[in-house]
Amino acid sequence: MKKVQFSRPLFPYLLLIPQLSIIAVFFYWPAAEAIRSSFFLEDPFGFGSTFVGLDNYRDAVTSSEYVNVATFTVWFTALVAFLSLSLSLLLAIKADAVLKGAKTYRVLLMWVYAIAPPVAGLMGILLFDQSLGPFTHLMALFGHDFKLGVNYYDTTTAIVIVSVWKQIPINFIFFLAGLQSIPRSVREAALIDNPSGISRFFTVTLPLLAPTAFFLLIINITYALFDTFGIFDIMFKGEPGNNPTTLVYKVFLDGFRGNDLGGSSAQSVILMILVLGLTVVQFRMMERRVHYT
Partner 1 sequence: MNTAKLTTTVAAIALMAGAAYAETEITLWHAMGGQLGETVNKIAEDFNASQDDYKLTPVYKGNYEETLTAGIAAFRGGEQPDIIQVFDAGAATIISAKGAVVPAQDLLIDNGVAFDANDYIAGVRNFYADTEGKMIGMPFNSSTPIMYYNEDALAKAGVTPPKTWEEFQSVTAPALKEAGYTPMSQSHLPWIFTENFFSRHNIQFATNDNGYAEGETKILINNDGIKAHFSAVKDWIDGGMFGYYGSGWSDNQKPFEQKEVAMWLGSSGSFGGLTATVDFPFSATYLPYWESVNPEPTNTFIGGAALFAMSGKSAEENKATAEFFKFLSSAEVQYFWHKETGYVPITNAAYEMAKEDGYYERSPAAEVGIQQLNLPGGDWTKGYRMGFYVQIRDVMSREYGKIMSGETTVEKAFETIESDANKLLARFAKTQG
* Cβ atoms 269, 37 nearer than 8 A: no
CB of residue 147 vs partner 1: minimum separation in angstroms?
A: 8
When binding is defined by CB under 8 A, the residue of 65, 145, 188, 287 that contacts partner 1 is 65
Q: What would the DSSP string read from start to end of 68-94?
A: HHHHHHHHHHHHHHHHHHHHHHHHHHH
- Asked if residue 137 binds partner 1 (CB under 8 A), the reply is no
Q: Which is nearer to partner 1, 51 or 202 (CB)?
A: 51
Burial of 188 (0-12, 13-18, 19+ CB in 10 A): exposed
- Asked if residue 183 binds partner 1 (CB under 8 A), the reply is no
Q: Which is nearer to partner 1, 65 or 287 (CB)?
A: 65
- Asked if residue 41 binds partner 1 (CB under 8 A), the reply is yes
93 Cβ neighbours under 8 A, 6+ residues apart: 175, 179, 201, 205
- Asked if residue 279 binds partner 1 (CB under 8 A), the reply is no
* Cβ atoms 176, 89 nearer than 8 A: no
When binding is defined by CB under 8 A, the residue of 52, 93, 161, 278 that contacts partner 1 is 52
Other Cβ atoms less than 10 A from the Cβ of 14: the count is 10
Categorise residue 121: left if φ over 0, alpha if ψ from -120 to 50, beta otherwise: alpha
Q: Which is nearer to partner 1, 5 or 64 (CB)?
A: 64
- Asked if residue 145 binds partner 1 (CB under 8 A), the reply is no
Give the binding site for partner 1 (CB under 8 A). 41-50, 52, 59, 63-65, 130-131, 147-152, 236-243, 253-254, 256-260, 262-263
